[in-house]
Amino acid sequence: MAGLGGSDTLDGGWKSDFLIGGSGDDTLYGDIGNDRLDGGTGRDLVWGDGGADVFHFDLGDGRDRIGDFKAGQDVIEILAAASLADLTFTQINGNVRVDFRSIHILVDDITVAQLDHAGNFHF
């Protein structure tokens, strides 16, 4: 399912879904299933909910937020990075900001110690 221009809200439902927000400030809900979520450009909020979800980010995507990352189950995919060493992690009020070049991701309700593991990322 894909949004186009503007600010879209996409809800995947109960199956494993591939949601693409496109341009604009989008909100994506994977719901139940092993979902793949790509907010596209803009300031996006993405929720995987149930299942083992993949949150995909590209250079130029902007500042995005993951509302429910589950360490050891979900994966953050940053194919432009070569390894975990390329990323910068900053603890901010119970959340973690992950930075790589023009990619800025705020991951809610997690610590750097929980997130800073190669198994939580695809490169």
Mind listing the pLDDT tens digit for each residue in 96-118? Answer: 999 999 999 999 999 999 999 99
Q: Two tokens at 105?
A: 């991701």
Can you give the length of the chain in residues?
123
pLDDT of residue 106: 99
pTM, 2 dp: 0.95
pLDDT of residue 8: 87
Q: Two tokens at 31?
A: 């719901």
**In terms of Cα–Cα distance, which of 42, 38, 58, 53 is closest to 100?**
58
Pairing of strands 45-47, 95-100: unpaired
Q: What is the mean pLDDT of residues 27-55?
A: 95
* Residues 14-31: tens digit of each pLDDT: 889 999 998 999 999 999
Q: For residue 75, give every residue at least 6 positions away whose Cβ sits within 8 Å of its Cβ, in sequence order, or none.
A: 52, 53, 54, 55, 120, 121, 122
- Residue 1 pLDDT class (50, 70, 90 cuts): confident
Kindly list the structural domains of the chain, giving each domain's residue range(s) and its CATH number in brackets, ordered by start: 9-122 (2.150.10.10)
- Residue 77 pLDDT class (50, 70, 90 cuts): very high
CA 121 to chain CA centroid, nearest Å: 10
